[in-house]
Amino acid sequence: MNYERLDALIEARRDEFLEDLARWLGVPSVKAAPEENAPFGRELRKMLDLALSDARRYGFETRDFDGYAGDVTMGGGEKTMGILCHLDVVPAGEGWTAEPFALTVRDGNLIGRGVIDDKGPALGALYALRCVRDAGIELKDAVRLILGCDEESGMADMRHYMARTASPDYGFSPDAEFPVINIEKGGIGILLSKNTGGEGGAGIPVHSMTAGERPNVVPGFAKAVVGTNGASPEEIRASLEALNRARGFKLTVEPIAAGLAEIAAAGLSAHASTPHLGVNAAGMLLIALKELGAGGGSRDAIAALADLIGLSGDGKELGIAIEDELSGKLTCNLGILRYDGSHLTAQLDIRYPLSASEEKLCGQIAMAMSQARVAITRLYGHAPHHVPADHRLVRGLIKAYSDVTGKKGYAFAIGGGTYSRCMPDTVAFGPNFPGDIDTCHMPDENFSLEKMMLSIRIMAHAIADLAGRES
């Protein structure tokens, strides 16, 4: 294999990569209401068109699957290697110091929504294909870059895609971490709900609550409108400041009308698979409302959510904490909280290890919430995904990682869910490196430029090693 030529081509195209990345990040490809030929909204249609157009400009064959997904193919052979990426991104959210939907280069870091999750790696995979081809590396297997549009919101894109074409025989998704992720935990989406209208009760009335936009994001901000019940804003503020001192919270209150005040909680966003890296503002708000003496029909539900979920990310208080040696600990994220004065909903994102049972987890949650008369609805679920560590694919990817970085490779488990679980013999592979702070779904999402170029090299070597002919 001509690895020197391959590496030189990747480095020579650094500036071109940045120009393309800037155009890709400039499209705010957040899922929206469907339109004709745009099942996930106009911006995602625009993003898919842009990506496929760039691929054709670089000389590749492309296919468009009704706006759900597209693919880019190089070469042919009895088998097909898949590279699974996505073009949709989560909403920008609060707390940015740079323009979210643009490329900012600051101190050697690339900043923008989608830089690491997953537009940067998707474009990097396209560049890896170009450079493998232009380096003259002969392939024994076809290589297919799959570009989905609904990874962040349920993966309806992959169900549509796989119903209309054959799945690759093996592959990887550059949407997590190096060296190789061969286990992805199972996932459950749970809706907790309670109708509170007509239920009286003493205490501070809660008129509304809002936190979070996606269940797979730890909400960084939450707010509630409450009645003051004759208390002055200063009295409420004093209670919140005491809670701030005691618990390290960031709670504020502002009067908004006669007898009404808005309480705000500031946390820290993170991915739902790593709730310990964030601070859940929804949980913080619920604890504060309970401590203030929230009353009315929402009292029991607020207390239950505060006590049984709160700031915990492991499900311990719910009675669902579990872990095993291969896949680690269960995580539980309160991602969305809504209350309109009569109906309360809270959505949980749960990632569970190989040894857990979805049925038992749902049963335990229902039992824990029953005393507060909170209903539980299963919204979605998927089983854990596992490719054995001794599989040819896993060994080949570890070799590519080690050859490029000079560091020992290994396989491990994550709580995040990638496209890997949608197809057989597929694993997650990059782009984050061991020890990196994962900034996906966070304000100022960023990734080192040098590490981005290194990840492209690793992907290119993996393509050459696994799909190329032996020289």
Q: What is the CATH number of the domain that holds 396?
A: 3.40.630.10
Which whole number is the average pLDDT over 306-334? 94
Whether 199 has a pLDDT exceeding 50, the answer reads no
> For 341-376, how does the pLDDT look when each residue is reduced to its tens digit (9 = 90+)?
899 999 999 999 999 999 999 999 999 999 999 999
CB 279 within 8 A of CB 295: no
Q: In which region does residue 245 sit, left (phi positive, over 0), alpha (psi from -120 to 50) or beta (all else)?
A: alpha
Same domain, 347 and 425: no
| Residues pairing with 72 in the sheet | 62, 145
Q: What is the CATH number of the domain that holds 318?
A: 3.30.70.360
pLDDT band at 62 (very low <50, low <70, confident <90, very high): very high
CB 236 within 8 A of CB 228: yes
Asked which of 324, 347, 382 is the last residue of a domain, the reply is 382
Same domain, 265 and 169: no
Same domain, 219 and 237: yes
Same domain, 90 and 203: no
Which whole number is the average pLDDT over 314-337? 95
Q: Which residues are CB-contacts of 359 (< 8 A; sequence separation ≥ 6)?
A: none
pLDDT band at 202 (very low <50, low <70, confident <90, very high): low
Same domain, 92 and 152: yes
Spatial separation of the C-alpha atoms in residues 345 and 401, rounded to whole Å:
44
Which of 463, 439, 451, 468 lies closest to 407, judged by CA? 451
Asked which of 360, 382, 404 is the last residue of a domain, the reply is 382
Spatial separation of the C-alpha atoms in residues 92 and 95, rounded to whole Å:
9
Which whole number is the average pLDDT over 103-132? 97
> For 13-27, how does the pLDDT look when each residue is reduced to its tens digit (9 = 90+)?
999 999 999 999 999
Q: Which residue has the higher pLDDT, 469 or 463?
A: 463
Spatial separation of the C-alpha atoms in residues 140 and 76, rounded to whole Å:
7
**Total domains present in the chain:** 2
Whether 6 has a pLDDT exceeding 90, the answer reads yes
CA–chain centroid gap for 95, Å, is 18
The residues annotated with a catalytic role in the active site are 88, 151
Same domain, 398 and 364: no
Which whole number is the average pLDDT over 2-8? 93
Same domain, 81 and 128: yes
Identify the pLDDT of residue 443.
Answer: 94
Which whole number is the average pLDDT over 107-116? 97
CB 256 within 8 A of CB 239: no
Which whole number is the average pLDDT over 381-395? 94
Same domain, 110 and 226: no
Which whole number is the average pLDDT over 378-389? 92
Whether 200 has a pLDDT exceeding 70, the answer reads no
Asked which of 343, 362, 382 is the last residue of a domain, the reply is 382
Q: Where are the alpha helices (DSSP H) in 334-376?
A: 358-370
pLDDT band at 128 (very low <50, low <70, confident <90, very high): very high
> For 163-198, how does the pLDDT look when each residue is reduced to its tens digit (9 = 90+)?
999 999 999 999 999 999 999 999 999 999 999 875
Backbone angles phi, psi at 258, to 5 degrees: -60, 120
Q: Which residues are CB-contacts of 13 (< 8 A; sequence separation ≥ 6)?
A: 127, 130, 131
Identify the pLDDT of residue 29.
Answer: 98
Which whole number is the average pLDDT over 288-298? 87
Which whole number is the average pLDDT over 40-49? 98
Identify the pLDDT of residue 330.
Answer: 96
Whether 323 has a pLDDT exceeding 70, the answer reads yes
Q: Is the four-CA dihedral 283, 285, 291, 295 of positive or negative sign? A: negative
Domain limits at 133?
A: 3-183+386-467
> For 133-161, how does the pLDDT look when each residue is reduced to its tens digit (9 = 90+)?
999 999 999 999 999 999 998 899 999 99
> For 415-443, how does the pLDDT look when each residue is reduced to its tens digit (9 = 90+)?
877 899 899 899 999 999 999 988 998 99
Query: How would you classify the pairing of strands 426-428 and 170-173?
Result: parallel
Q: Where are the alpha helices (DSSP H) in 215-297?
A: 233-247, 281-292
Query: How would you classify the pairing of strands 186-195 and 142-148?
Result: unpaired
Same domain, 214 and 178: no
Q: Is the four-CA dihedral 84, 89, 95, 101 of positive or negative sign? A: positive
pLDDT band at 471 (very low <50, low <70, confident <90, very high): low
Same domain, 301 and 392: no
Q: Supply the pTM of this predicted model.
A: 0.74
CB 117 within 8 A of CB 48: no
Mutual angle of helices 449-467 and 392-405, in 10-degree steps: 140
Mean pLDDT of the chain: 94
Tokens of 260: 């009404």
Same domain, 191 and 179: no
Same domain, 8 and 96: yes
